[in-house]
Chain A
Amino acid sequence: MGNNKKYWKGLADLNNDPDFIKSAQNEFAEELPINFLGKDSRAEGSTPRRDFLKFLGFSVTAASLAACETPVRKVIPYVIKPEDITPGIPNWYATSYYDGHDYASILVKNRDGRPIKIEGNKNSTVTRGGTSARVQAAVLSLYDSARISGPIAKGSPSSWSTADKDIAAGLASGGNIRLLTSTIISPSSMKAIQEFTAKYPTAKHVVYDAISYSGMLDANKASFGKRVIPTYNFEKASIIVSLGADFLANWISPIEHAAQYAVTRKLGAGKKDMSRHIQIETNLTVTGSNADLRIPAKPSEIGQAAVSLLAAVGGGVSAKSLPFDDKLKTVAKELLENKGKAIVVCGSNDVNVQILVNSINQALGSYGTTINIDKPNYLKQGNDADVVALVNEMKSGNVQTLIMHQVNPSYTLPAALGFDEALKKVKLKVSFADRADETASQCDYICPDHHILESWGDAMPVEGSYSLIQPVIFPLFNTRSAEESLLKWSGNDTDYQSYVKKNWQDGIFAQKGAGSSFNDFWSKCLFDGVIDTDGKAVAASVAPVAAEVNADSKKTESSAADASIAAAPAPVANAQDLNAVASNIPKAGNGYELSLYEKTGLGNGVQANNPWLQELPDPISKVTWDNYITMNPRDMREKGYNLMERADRNATLVDVTANGITLALPVYPSPGQAIGTIGIALGYGRTKAGKAANEVGQNVYPITSVVNNTFSYVSSAALSDAKGEFLIAATQTHHTMMGRTVVHETTLDAYQKDAKAGNHTEKFKLQLGQHHTEHTATELDLWATEKYPGHDKPIHFWGMAIDLNACIGCGACVISCNAENNVPVVGKAEVAMARDMHWIRIDRYFSSDADPKEGSHEGKNYTEMENPSDYPQVVFQPVMCMHCNHAPCETVCPVAATMHSSDGLNQMAYNRCVGTRYCANNCPYKVRRFNWFKYSDNAEFDFNMNDDLGKMVLNPDVVVRSRGVMEKCSMCVQRIQEGKLNAKKDGRKIVDGEIQTACAQACPTNAITFGDYNDKESQLSKLNEDERMYHLLEEINTQPSVLYLTKVRNAEETATDGVAAASKQHA
């Protein structure tokens, strides 16, 4: 078999739906709107044709009048120019991003006092210069107009002095004080909190993660006596088994994990081996898409799978039988073969399952090799039992004051807990939220914290790895850091900057600063952004863990010390107990099993009001602006839901009922979803976050429940029959490449035998006169003749390489590109009409072995096989402008608005474009985007570009395009020009790697490499020589400047030669 693999973007593509084919033939899915803005869906915004003509007449007059007026533009210099600022030249500052959920050490590009771009800090040993979509988007969240501009008392604007006076009086009046915060990773914040709790003895600090890891923490407490999360080192693993942990996109510290993972997945001249990744999961996640072997399983089966695995690796437990037992056996065998080089992670929040996983890792000798429990990761410390206790305490009226920081419990807590009711019984409610969100709007006082980019602070995400937070902009509003507020209420008037500085002087400087003055040390730390203290936290500084945990670790100090001497963790609970633990794992309920998940874009929902993230297509479903029920197409067929096979945009709307809550949500087909299960994303359905987030999707946090003292994200659910239709804006089948073979794929075995496996160039038969000859497409050239040898590239020849093995599909590059190139947000209705403007898209291809239309193939009968769309494999392929050296777009432009430069770039001159769209029609890669409207200063597109504050994020070096022009990836030409100029100014050659495109810089796995083909020593030139190198649609001989590296799977079966598959299809 093997060579009849078919790649498809969606069910419509798979089934060769006539509508899909028709729309795929059209570059533009929609007719030109004569009505001003679409039709039915936005009738209120529509304009009759007659009015359109009136507008036309008016705008001509207005334009000519405007043209005659001499604009008086002012230029206002600084009064006293700061020494390190030169207008027009960006400054870079190292700082850290942390919003209670995501952490990254970052560099911020600051242009004329405004932060405009976030990039990864390569100095960090934790995030290694990587970022995620959410971290990239944070710079826009800074300029969110929904932020409140100062303290609010009882719903109306107030002043800090009033708020301080009233709150201090409230605190002094006695009663229980509770401080509910997200996980705190900052030693200085923790110190401030301790100062506060010391001042008010009735105060208690409760830590809460919106998406909880409490089960894992409790399991580690049970297994090792420490309520911490260990650090995982995927880099050292040759086999990775994940039980539902989406560790590449969301789980604990995804940027860190992705960077480590990519190291094990990359192949090249000196590295012919890669890790094997097995994913057992319910919803198709980003991580699962990258797995070599993916085993779909119901949530209830995942717990049992842990039992089975433990039994198979010799854990002495008895396991029940599972439908995929045979696969589990091989997994266990492979795990045992790789003892000490294996890693097993689990995304469940059930303490029992996590204890079992701990035992598996123990049995595999992972502790001390791939997992380090003595070097905790502090990013998740929430304690669900404490939160439940707190709510009960509030209900009983025993809480006098509740102060909340970086949490939104009204939105994120299970409905069954009744937080809102309980909150009413609290006398003084204070929130540090930056907006009047679901919780803060019910508080007596909102004391807005700075945005992280306006704050001072520090962080210790991982034991012994410190990073600093420094402001990169003067606070936009009358805000105050939460720590400063706490200190003030504790009677300490220090400003928080000095407080952090003092803390570092006493702690880290004392240990690491030998031989320098503190000021030099401090400057160096600020410059680097990070400092590591030899794997151990500095004794004198406060560890960023809640007091209770501190006490715990003190208690276990002696045993931990023993353990470290023995270089093995504390003993785990015995086998007898494990059987009891295994029996505690919840059984499956009736109906569908629902598994709530976190999306790469919105995460836990804290940045929901960020239009970039809302419009980021989900890596798997490619849906924007919504959450929905993901369901296997087979289940959907059974229920009679619309499979959206006809490339239509209307999904079936159904009622889903779980844990007594009923929500109306559309059902979206998700091949790969375990049969009998459904998934819904958290983070949507905000009601008080701002105009981009409100009423988008449904909030499913209330569905969560408390099971075994932890929040459970799985439950059984019932689905109603179809009750209507719902518009879904998915980019999945947009910009499709007409069924041509675009992905080259092979297996590791084949690759080790032949490095060109899966990547043999196709030869075409050609009849020249009497002779039949075979040629590759690139040998036959219409243009390159002796007289005219093609474009000369005398100085530079820019290009990019994309390693399909390293790309995990996370979408960081898309957001990075948005920020760098002023890509507009167009909104759901426009995306639904295939008018998304992203310059880089990540195509997600499903692939399956059999063609569903053919019952038999080469004498083999495949009809018995599972429906190919049930559990397909997934490939991610980032596609941007290929900068073809024989560019089809360039030859059809009637006004020469797009043309080639002598350094290999396909240039686009917006002011010359007249909008014929011929170029887009002629582009085989479908990478050109047309500005159907003016997206800036247009109330119809009320996103960041229609907002004075939101516009501050725009990159001043890149034009904001106007209506009626074509645009596309420029390969960040502004960065190329800047890099060239810097080299010329310094009088030197350009150093390879000095210029990075925004997408390449953002990538946590370094899947994208930018460089100069003319520099023979460049990384790009080397990749160009790699056997895995291929060009997209090589057979049409466009000679792209972007190259791809074949995807290699560490799997035994489904050895598929993509090119062969293509020839089969063509034949």
Chain B
Amino acid sequence: MDKSFCRSLWILSISFFTVLFLGTSGHASAQDGAQLFKTNCASCHSLGTNKLTGPGLEGVTKRVPPGDWINKWIKNSDALIKAGDPYAVKIFEEYNRMPMTVFTNLSDAEISAIVKYISAPPKKEEKKDGAPAAGAEAGEKEGDNFTMLLIIVTILAGLYFVLRGIKKSLESTADEKFGREPRPDYSGFAGAKLWAMSHKKHVAVIVLVLVAWGSKAGWDALAGIGIYQGYEPAQPIKFSHKIHAGENQISCVYCHAGAEKGKTAGVPSPNVCMNCHKGIQSGAQTGTEEIAKIYKALDYDPNTQKYGPNPKPIEWIRVHNLPDLAYFNHAQHVTVGKVECQKCHGPVQEMEVLKQHEMLTMGWCINCHRETEVTQFKSNPYYADLHKKFAEKFKGQKITVDKIGGIECARCHY
């Protein structure tokens, strides 16, 4: 190979990676403010000039009092209003005395990052279609592999028959040549029968294996009834958990608020969607098409910002179904047990279409209860005094959920 070609390849690849590295590292610092903005501010403020719950933020740093006023306002607008700051009071009155959420939990650096992001928001990018394209490619690739395999198998099978034919004709030619009697044709069923007669042990083993395999397959099939692991139905709205929970890192319980409170995690009602989608009217993957379905459900007109009289609920397809005979309570696991959602629901933040990740069988539940250690003894006063009792009882052993009664029938069946 040409030396100069090799060198240029080297240079090209180094420069490519450098650009890539620089690109990503430069993007990362801007990401902080953007991320913070999305988590804390975007539900009430747009980056443009349009009003949502609060004012649009385009050019906000220029219109408010100079200096660190804006940082103070973000941190604790209420204090500013109470202190009688004229501009703060003016804004407060202008928005019907509706106070802005107080963000004392944010550090000054974080607020500065947000302000930086607001004052220089990124230009609207071209519609990215990386993610679905990649998905499609992956799908195609998988398909290609399968076709390739099929082609290879077909070619090999063809080769086998061609060679066998050649062998046969060579044999018969040889027989003819040497004047032997032509061999009887034991091909097909007759041949197999002949072989079986002379190989009874082999046959017995094969039959045994087949029966065993058949029973196993049958058993598995029966055991699989009612198990819908991998169930991935198409939903009426192409909602992507990957975008929401993954890329935008929205907390699971922001939408599934019931998970912390009670039995059902709940599917959010469209008014929860509107907390963000009042502002975000166009999605990264499907544009306005899917978000418009939320507006339709609420009978909301994004142009006039008015709700109509004919809302219609969205009929989602339920993915995780437990049978009626099992009582499952989210709060017990999420609030009390501090179990991560992903433990049962899998990596939802990576799922484009939601899918049942685990088997959700009783054996699966029990297994987890046997393995999970009870960590709430110290933090939850409900368990006060109990830790000592259990520690004495199970000397040195890990105190798992089953040891405190977590696998008793009436915990889930009543």
Contacts and interface: CB of A to CB of B under 8 A. Distances in A.
- Asked if chains A and B come from one complex, the reply is yes
Contacts of B411: 901, 977
A911 B271 contact: no
Contacts of B243: none
A77 interface: yes
Interface in B212-228: 225-226, 228
Given A67-B225, A75-B318, 16 more contacts: A73-B321, A77-B270, A77-B314, A78-B313, A86-B261, A87-B258, A88-B264, A88-B266, A794-B389, A794-B404, A901-B405, A977-B327, A985-B261, A987-B379, A988-B381, A989-B382
A660 B411 CA distance: 62
A957 B412 CA distance: 10
Contact of A909 (B269, B321, B386, B413): B413
B297 interface: yes
Given A901-B409, A973-B414, A981 B266 contact: no
A989 B384 CA distance: 8
Contact of B317 (A74, A907, A911): A74
B413 A911 contact: yes
A984 B413 contact: no
B272 interface: yes
Nearest to B268: A77
A910 B326 CA distance: 11
Interface residues of A, number: 49
A68 B318 contact: no
Listed from nearest, the 3 A-B pairs whose CB atoms lie closest are A88-B263, A907-B410, A81-B269
Interface string B305-337: 000000111111110010011010101100110
A970 B410 contact: yes
20 contacts: A68-B225, A73-B317, A74-B315, A76-B314, A86-B261, A86-B266, A88-B266, A89-B261, A89-B263, A795-B405, A899-B409, A901-B409, A901-B411, A909-B413, A959-B324, A959-B325, A970-B414, A977-B327, A987-B379, A988-B382
Contacts of B389: 794
A71 interface: yes
Nearest to B297: A79
Interface of A: 67-68, 70-81, 86-89, 792, 794-795, 899, 901-903, 905, 907-912, 957-960, 970, 973-974, 977, 980-981, 983-985, 987-990
B298 A79 contact: yes
A67 B226 contact: yes
Contact of B382 (A76, A910, A912, A983): A983
B410 A973 contact: yes
B385 to A, nearest CB: 9
B393 interface: yes
A907 to B, nearest CB: 4
Given A73-B318, A989-B382, A905 B410 contact: yes
Given A86-B262, A974-B414, A981-B332, A902 B408 contact: yes
A800 to B, nearest CB: 16
B259 to A, nearest CB: 10
A985 B324 contact: no
Contacts of B414: 957-959, 970, 973-974, 977
A84 B393 CA distance: 43
B24 interface: no
A914 to B, nearest CB: 15
Nearest to B385: A989
A63 to B, nearest CB: 11
Contacts of B314: 76-77
B233 interface: yes
B332 to A, nearest CB: 6
A795 B266 contact: no
Contacts of B336: 981, 984-985
Interface in B225-244: 225-226, 228, 231, 233
Contacts of B270: 77, 79-80
Contacts of B262: 86-89
Contacts of B280: none
Contact of B393 (A794, A987, A988, A990): A794
Nearest to B389: A794
Contact of A902 (B225, B335, B405): B405
A688 B335 CA distance: 52
Contacts of A68: 225
Contacts of A75: 267, 316-318
A80 B312 CA distance: 10
A445 B297 CA distance: 40
A977 B336 CA distance: 13
Contacts of A977: 327, 329, 411, 414
B390 interface: yes
Nearest to A792: B393
B269 A79 contact: yes
B257 interface: yes
Contact of B257 (A79, A86, A901, A912): A86
Contact of A910 (B258, B379, B413): B413
A907 B408 contact: yes
B268 A901 contact: no
A960 B393 CA distance: 38
Contacts of A86: 257-258, 261-262, 266
B271 A79 contact: yes
B327 A794 contact: no
A905 B258 CA distance: 29
Contacts of A71: 321
Contact of B228 (A67, A70, A794): A70
B205 to A, nearest CB: 33
A1020 B311 CA distance: 52
A957 B327 contact: yes
A161 B130 CA distance: 61
A77 B321 CA distance: 16
A570 to B, nearest CB: 58
A869 to B, nearest CB: 42
Contacts of B304: none
Interface centre among A68, A79, A957 (most CB of B within 10 A): A79
Nearest to A972: B414
B268 to A, nearest CB: 6
B380 interface: yes
Nearest to A79: B311
B258 A984 contact: no
Given A70-B228, A72-B317, A86-B257, A81 B272 contact: yes
B237 to A, nearest CB: 12
Contacts of A78: 269, 313
A88 B315 CA distance: 18
Interface string B385-414: 010011001000000000011001111011
A911 to B, nearest CB: 5
B136 to A, nearest CB: 27
Interface string B270-304: 11100000000000000000000000011000000
A988 B384 CA distance: 9
A285 to B, nearest CB: 37
A905 B261 CA distance: 26
A88 B258 contact: yes
A989 B381 contact: yes
Nearest to A981: B332
Given A76-B314, A970-B414, A901 B324 contact: no
A80 B311 contact: yes
Contact of A74 (B257, B318, B325): B318
A988 B257 CA distance: 22
Given A89-B261, A794-B393, A981-B329, A909 B409 contact: yes
A114 to B, nearest CB: 15
B300 to A, nearest CB: 10
Contacts of B264: 87-88
Given A67-B226, A78-B313, A970-B414, A987 B381 contact: yes
Contacts of B311: 79-80
B329 to A, nearest CB: 6
A629 B297 CA distance: 62
A77 B316 contact: yes
Contact of B380 (A79, A795, A901, A987): A987
